[in-house]
Amino acid sequence: MKKEEIVAIAVRLFAIFLFVYAVRMVPGMVVLIRQEVESIDFIFGLVFLTTHLLVALLLWVFALAIARKLLPAGKPGKGPARLALGDIQAVAFSVMGLWVLASAIPDIFYWGSFLYQTNAGGWRYRELSPENTGNIVSTLVELAIGLWLLFGARGLAGLVKMARGMGAGK
């Protein structure tokens, strides 16, 4: 594997970071839409969100070209790395999945205790504010993205298969 490919993986990991950061902004945008706020606040938020998504997309699509620009001029790709591209990608995406899960799991506990407390206090879930509802959905999406990055398509399918077979005699 060439040096450019390793740097391209790092660029793509940063693109995933920006995408997750942008997804976290969506609940705030939903609140701005539902509330009657000045249009300049909404436009600023929309530009900020769109910019993050666009940069993430460009980093993802042009990762190798960006990697070539980041590396010093010289003989490109001299000296192959010891790991194969698939191995490095698996490690990198697993680390990114752990990072996303490290943020999502505490949020899951927060929202679980929040819903428990609101139910114990006599509230109903339908009385949740739009912001809270959006944040709960955002946390669930973040959890799904983290699991997908950590386990990948085959790993996640294997995890589901293992969970289905638990308790069943072999």
Per-residue pLDDT at 36: 66
How much of the chain is in helix, strand and coil states, percent to nearest 5? 80, 0, 20
Per-residue pLDDT at 57: 93
Judge contact between 135 and 111, C-beta under 8 A. Answer: yes
> Is pLDDT of 141 > 80?
yes
Higher pLDDT, 81 or 129: 129
For residue 67, CA distances in Å to 46, 64, 70, 73, 126 come to 29, 5, 5, 11, 48
Residue 61 pLDDT level (bands cut at 50, 70, 90): very high
CA dist 53 and 22 (Å) reads 6
Averaged pLDDT, 77-87: 60
Q: What is the pTM of this model?
A: 0.52
Residue spans of the domains in the chain: they are 3-164
Residue 70 pLDDT level (bands cut at 50, 70, 90): confident
